[in-house]
A and B are shown apart, each in its own frame.
Chain A
Amino acid sequence: MGKILEINGPLVKLDLPQTVLGEQVRVGRLGLVGEVISRDGNTALAQLYEDTAGLCPGEEAEGLGWPLSVELGPGLLGGIFDGVQRPLQAMWEQSGDRIARGVAVASLPRGRRWHFAPDPRCHAGMPLVGGEVLGTVQETESIQHRILVPPRVQGELLELAPEGEHTVEDVIGRVRLADGRIEKLHLFHRWPVRTPRPFRQRDHAVAPLITGQRILDTFYPLLKGGKAAIPGPFGAGKTMLQHQVARWCNAQIVIYVGCGERGNELTDVLESMPTLTDPHTGRPLMERTLLVANTSNMPVVAREASIYVGITLAEYFRDQGYDVVMVADSTSRWAEALREVAGRLGQMPVEEGYPAYLGSRLAAFYERAGRVETLAGDHGSVTLIGAVSPPGGDFSEPVTSHTKEIIQTFWALSKELADARHYPAVDWLESFSGYVSSAAKWWADNIDPGWEASRAAALDLLAASEELQRIVNLVGVEALSSEQRWTLEAASLIKEGLLQQAATDEIDSFASPEKQFALLTALLDIYRQGMKLVKLGAPARRLIQMPLLAQARRWKSQHNSDDLEALKVKIAAIPAAFEPLLLEYTPAAPSSAVEAIQP
């Protein structure tokens, strides 16, 4: 037994010989939990996950003997957990509206029985290695929970429970380890959150994560197993974009980590997800979703932990062979929590108060994303999408700039676009994706071989219009040639008819790859047909007045992804809309060649 020597904010100095770094401690009459972050002789410094008010020097403290770990087993999906995996729903029922301190509630429900079906390949006497699948529990209608041998267990399976109902704590099997000890197996196991879960090897990421958001999928794709960041000032749409991804992406499991952000945003997810259906499976979205929440008013140390809790849960589902997406809103709050603790430890700040290891911590965290071959020989992936909240919207600040070095897909949000309510406010010039060529293969195989070229054409058009806009801002639009004016108009058509996609628009909130591609090529077609006319001498003014342009801007909100026939009819009619102008401006007569083919 140790004791408290000093309390300083969330840090507590303990007289606790023989503890190790990272060990969980329980301190004081209230039984507050925390972890050891430094040691000096017999004294240890611990950071507590709960508010330390009321603790007194002299009160008792004990080391618990293990590092911060999570419980992994059935009962996770559909749940909401705090930054150290306490179940918030159960805590609400048990202790009321406010989060009282020192409340210990098991992460997974203890009383609930699950229907366990052993894997037919498993039998007594067989050799078992960690990560193998022992059997399954149908956790929600759409998700089968695969019960895994804890990664570090290896030995001979002595017995395995037959099909039947079990609580997570029931012993469902026994393994004789190499050293002769017997290890009991349960429906769940524990894993330390700061240690990445092992796998056989890394795989290449191959398939794009389809999010249903055109500016993401069509322009700046992310792969399953990839890493992405969404930086942007407040109000630019980071959270909404993450909500959109969490709702519509074609992952099998979604882990939403609310790290130091608003309570109401989690309520929003909790209230909306059960009412929405997964466009890929037709099941309620909540069945595949779980939330980790350390809101901005909850203790800051648990905020730092919440990110690791989230990623460990993600790895666990990956190890079952699933494609998992974890969105973290916001990684900046995690970095700030790191900074706060570093400051209290008296560590030398290097930039804006952040410790020197900020970059390496961020990199190590994002490194836990990836597509892997699991220990069981399956394939699974963790895709990581982190929001970044730069102070003052300045992307040169440390968290944004370090993150930018690490990730492959960068969805930069712009205040100017958000101010004009152009959503998602993803800046098409600042953003980038390192996955375009891999994604192009998928689009070519599944949607259309022309995807890569069309995407490039649209981006060229946008870039060209940016140049022209600069001229306009200096001398006015009248100074432009007709070709240039048409280019401007077509770019604006792409922005309004394709890039803008309101999350609140019931029809357009999700766009299937087919719909995305149909709109992309349709708008490009309008651009090209118009350009042909301009080259024939038609003034841009005439083209800009065409009703087609206003109509095409509305197509996205008029046609649902699963009913594109009517849209295709409209698209097929594009040439006809240009017909009158074409007749007018096609150089008449002398060309006998034209006449020759007319009967």
Chain B
Amino acid sequence: MKNIEFRTAASAQGGLVVMAGVPGVAAGSRVQLRDHAGRVRSGLVIRSANDAVLVEVFEGTDALDLERTWVRFLEEPYKLPVSRDMLGRVFNGSGRPCDGRPPVISADRRDINGEPLNPAARAYPREFIQTGISAIDGMNSLTRGQKLPIFSGGGLPHNRVAAQIVRQAKLLGEEAAEFVVVFAAFGASHADARFFQESFEESGVLNKVVMFLNLADEPVIERLLTPRAALTAAEYLAFDLDYHVLVVMTDMTAYAEALREVAVLRGDVPARKGYPGYLYSDLAEIYERAGRIKNRRGSITMIPVLSMPSDDITHPIPDLTGYITEGQIVLGRELSNQGVYPPVTVLPSLSRLMKDGIGKNFTREDHPHVASQLFASYAKALEVRGLAAIIGAEELSDADRRTLAFADAFERRFINQGEDEDRSIHETLNLAWDLLSMLPPESLIRVSEEELAKYHKGTT
């Protein structure tokens, strides 16, 4: 049947085509459409019955002439040829090379949907990755095998932050060289893609990067393939070739919007804001491909970037993402407007795996308590700042004024740092103690008395 061309398209709308009278087509099978102009498009069977087959067309159905469209059913799922030669290459959103070089030749072709990892096969991520960024390392640390997204918004420097992480990320006592990077962009602008490409080039890692690009002016439905193709490459590099793979994906919002577009066409019942109820499971299929596996050396650490529509963290895309990923780094407009880079809003930020990857055997024994104390003191300080805005700073007590000074210093010195500034975890923790020393020791109850004695610089 692979070689038969059917010319029985009965209807086409948006990105969907209904084929009539095609017997026994497998669900999920890949499809090739040839239009009257000879252009070949690709698609996927999303519903299959003997009388009608529903096909999702990645390049869309614009200008499709039903009578002059020839369709072949390839009887296999969407596959990506994988090989070490992918490193240093650039692919389009559905995994075909687009860097003018020859295709990757490999007999090993993998279903891009992957298969769910058996939870019994997972190894818990525990190795601290130093990103050199204090707001992350000190308070929301990343571990190898974690999925930690950046929640951002239009005009915020998420690309620069992601690029800085890629440049600086390393395990303590190990060179950055063990990392390879899989970079996937969907719905991103050409400028964004160029920014990353140049940043990889500058840091000399370009030959260790695999890129998958579906840019803003490229077919929307193809975006449903892009993260899956990228993760198929990542899984191969991590679990077949033992690499530690850092996956950067941007922008998950563009992905979810593409999913919604198709869902609406299919008539799926919407849950919130028009997004289908299965957005959660669909995103989970992507995010859960990060991780570590017992008895395997490699790992997949994932940093998805997403822009929060109207900066709203309760919007379904960040919300469902936060429900799946192992924390989130939230960038804030207010800090950014004050010139703080990286503008990490620490309170809503979180790393769920931090507690198991820091402390005595990993970073430094005081790290867990210092992080907890910074959160508590800064949260308190923000309350005071809110109060000062109402009653005026001159009305504040001395203690409150010290607290305010702490908040300012925390933002200016701890959160804020240079784009090329690579702070070691020790520098970050020492800096934290410099700041905590601005506060009276008896107010610091999240750190132990021994730690106070050892690190607190103030006198009461």
B is bound to A: yes
| In contact, B379 and A421 (Cβ under 8 angstroms) | yes
Stretch at the interface among A92-100, A171-179, A198-206, A447-455: A92-100
A34 to chain B, nearest CB (A): 14
- Alpha-carbon gap, A338 to B78, bound state (A): 29
Partner pick for A420 among B46, B291, B347, CB 8 A cutoff: B347
Among residues 3 to 58 in chain A, which have CB atoms less than 8 Å away from a CB atom of chain B? 5-9, 13, 51-58
Given A97-B293, A263-B288, A297-B285: A475 and B391 interface contact (C-beta under 8 Å): yes
Q: Which residues of A contact B372 (CB under 8 A)?
A: 421, 502
B381 to chain A, nearest CB (A): 11
Among residues 9 to 53 in chain B, which have CB atoms less than 8 Å away from a CB atom of chain A? 23-29, 46-50
How many interface contacts (CB-CB < 8 Å) are there between A and B? 215
| In contact, A53 and B113 (Cβ under 8 angstroms) | yes
Among residues 436 to 484 in chain A, which have CB atoms less than 8 Å away from a CB atom of chain B? 472-478
Among residues 228 to 267 in chain A, which have CB atoms less than 8 Å away from a CB atom of chain B? 233-235, 258, 260, 262-264, 266-267
Number of residues in B with C-beta < 8 Å to the partner?
A: 79
- Alpha-carbon gap, A351 to B395, bound state (A): 49
B207 within 8 A of A: no
B279 to chain A, nearest CB (A): 10
B311 to chain A, nearest CB (A): 14
| In contact, B379 and A339 (Cβ under 8 angstroms) | no
Q: Which residues of A contact B316 (CB under 8 A)?
A: 391-392
Among residues 294 to 324 in chain A, which have CB atoms less than 8 Å away from a CB atom of chain B? 295-300
A393 within 8 A of B: yes
Number of residues in A with C-beta < 8 Å to the partner?
A: 80
- Alpha-carbon gap, A393 to B319, bound state (A): 9
Stretch at the interface among A66-74, A187-195, A520-528, A546-554: A546-554
Q: Which residues of A contact B117 (CB under 8 A)?
A: 97-99, 263, 297
Among residues 302 to 357 in chain B, which have CB atoms less than 8 Å away from a CB atom of chain A? 314-316, 319-320, 322-324, 326-328, 347-348, 350, 352-353, 355-356
| In contact, A496 and B326 (Cβ under 8 angstroms) | no
B390 within 8 A of A: yes
Partner pick for B268 among A343, A473, A475, A557, CB 8 A cutoff: A343
Partner pick for B119 among A9, A80, A352, CB 8 A cutoff: A80
Among residues 466 to 509 in chain A, which have CB atoms less than 8 Å away from a CB atom of chain B? 472-478, 496, 502, 504
Q: Which residues of B contact A391 (CB under 8 A)?
A: 272, 314, 316, 319-320
Q: Which residues of B contact A477 (CB under 8 A)?
A: 397
B125 within 8 A of A: yes
Among residues 309 to 351 in chain A, which have CB atoms less than 8 Å away from a CB atom of chain B? 333, 336, 339-340, 342-343, 349
Given A53-B27, A478-B397: A349 and B269 interface contact (C-beta under 8 Å): yes
Given A52-B27, A98-B117, A478-B397: A6 and B449 interface contact (C-beta under 8 Å): no
Given A98-B118, A100-B115: A296 and B352 interface contact (C-beta under 8 Å): no
Q: Which residues of A contact B105 (CB under 8 A)?
A: none
A88 within 8 A of B: yes
Q: Which residues of A contact B328 (CB under 8 A)?
A: 235
B62 to chain A, nearest CB (A): 26
| In contact, A333 and B387 (Cβ under 8 angstroms) | no
Partner pick for A419 among B27, B368, B379, B386, CB 8 A cutoff: B379
B219 within 8 A of A: no
Dominant SS among interface residues on chain A: mixed
Among residues 537 to 556 in chain A, which have CB atoms less than 8 Å away from a CB atom of chain B? 547, 549-550, 553-554
A136 within 8 A of B: no
Partner pick for B449 among A234, A504, A554, CB 8 A cutoff: A554
A394 within 8 A of B: yes
A395 to chain B, nearest CB (A): 12
| In contact, A392 and B118 (Cβ under 8 angstroms) | no
Q: Nearest chain-B residue to A91 (Cβ)?
A: B118
Which has the most chain B C-beta neighbours within 10 Å: A53, A270, A333?
Answer: A53
B77 within 8 A of A: yes
B278 within 8 A of A: yes
Q: Which residues of B contact A235 (CB under 8 A)?
A: 322, 327-328, 348, 350, 352
- Alpha-carbon gap, A52 to B120, bound state (A): 23
A470 to chain B, nearest CB (A): 12
| In contact, A6 and B47 (Cβ under 8 angstroms) | yes
Q: Which residues of B contact A98 (CB under 8 A)?
A: 114-118, 121
| In contact, A336 and B277 (Cβ under 8 angstroms) | yes
Mask, A83-117, CB within 8 Å of B = 1, is 00000110110001111110000000000000000
Which has the most chain B C-beta neighbours within 10 Å: A58, A99, A258?
Answer: A99
| In contact, B324 and A473 (Cβ under 8 angstroms) | no
B270 within 8 A of A: yes
A32 to chain B, nearest CB (A): 11
| In contact, B319 and A234 (Cβ under 8 angstroms) | yes
Mask, B366-387, CB within 8 Å of A = 1, is 0010001001100110000011
| In contact, A297 and B322 (Cβ under 8 angstroms) | no
- Alpha-carbon gap, A262 to B289, bound state (A): 11
Q: Which residues of A contact B24 (CB under 8 A)?
A: 56-58
Given A98-B118, A264-B326, A389-B323: A7 and B277 interface contact (C-beta under 8 Å): no
Given A97-B121, A420-B347: A473 and B390 interface contact (C-beta under 8 Å): yes
A271 within 8 A of B: yes
A353 within 8 A of B: yes
Partner pick for A340 among B28, B29, B239, B278, CB 8 A cutoff: B278
A534 within 8 A of B: no
Mask, A373-394, CB within 8 Å of B = 1, is 0000000000000000101111
| In contact, B379 and A268 (Cβ under 8 angstroms) | no
Q: Which residues of B contact A353 (CB under 8 A)?
A: 269-271, 277
| In contact, B376 and A420 (Cβ under 8 angstroms) | yes
A293 within 8 A of B: yes
Given A57-B49, A268-B124: A300 and B278 interface contact (C-beta under 8 Å): yes
Q: Nearest chain-B residue to A291 (Cβ)?
A: B119
B275 to chain A, nearest CB (A): 10
Partner pick for A473 among B277, B278, B386, B396, CB 8 A cutoff: B386
Given A80-B120, A99-B115, A293-B119: A550 and B445 interface contact (C-beta under 8 Å): yes
Mask, B272-308, CB within 8 Å of A = 1, is 1000011011001100110101001000000000000
- Alpha-carbon gap, A264 to B289, bound state (A): 11
B273 to chain A, nearest CB (A): 10
Q: Nearest chain-A residue to B121 (Cβ)?
A: A97
A591 to chain B, nearest CB (A): 35
A353 to chain B, nearest CB (A): 4
| In contact, B442 and A263 (Cβ under 8 angstroms) | no
Given A54-B28, A392-B319, A419-B379: A264 and B271 interface contact (C-beta under 8 Å): no
| In contact, A88 and B277 (Cβ under 8 angstroms) | no
| In contact, A92 and B49 (Cβ under 8 angstroms) | no
Q: Which residues of A contact B445 (CB under 8 A)?
A: 496, 550, 553-554
Mask, A132-144, CB within 8 Å of B = 1, is 0000000000000
| In contact, B120 and A92 (Cβ under 8 angstroms) | yes
Q: Which residues of B contact A343 (CB under 8 A)?
A: 268-269, 277
A307 to chain B, nearest CB (A): 16
| In contact, B395 and A476 (Cβ under 8 angstroms) | yes
Q: Which residues of A contact B278 (CB under 8 A)?
A: 300, 340
B413 within 8 A of A: no
B426 within 8 A of A: no
- Alpha-carbon gap, A9 to B48, bound state (A): 9
- Alpha-carbon gap, A215 to B356, bound state (A): 24
B122 within 8 A of A: yes
Partner pick for B26 among A55, A101, A421, CB 8 A cutoff: A55
| In contact, A295 and B347 (Cβ under 8 angstroms) | no
| In contact, A234 and B323 (Cβ under 8 angstroms) | yes
Pull 7 A–B residue pairs with CB atoms less than 8 Å apart, ordered by A.
A96-B121, A98-B114, A233-B319, A349-B269, A353-B270, A391-B272, A421-B379
15 more CB-based (< 8 A) A-B contacts, given A99-B115, A260-B284 = A7-B27, A9-B47, A53-B26, A53-B27, A56-B26, A88-B119, A97-B239, A234-B323, A264-B124, A299-B116, A340-B277, A392-B316, A422-B376, A476-B390, A496-B445
- What are the 7 A-B residue pairs with the smallest beta carbon separation, nearest first? A53-B28, A392-B314, A296-B284, A420-B379, A6-B49, A343-B269, A297-B288
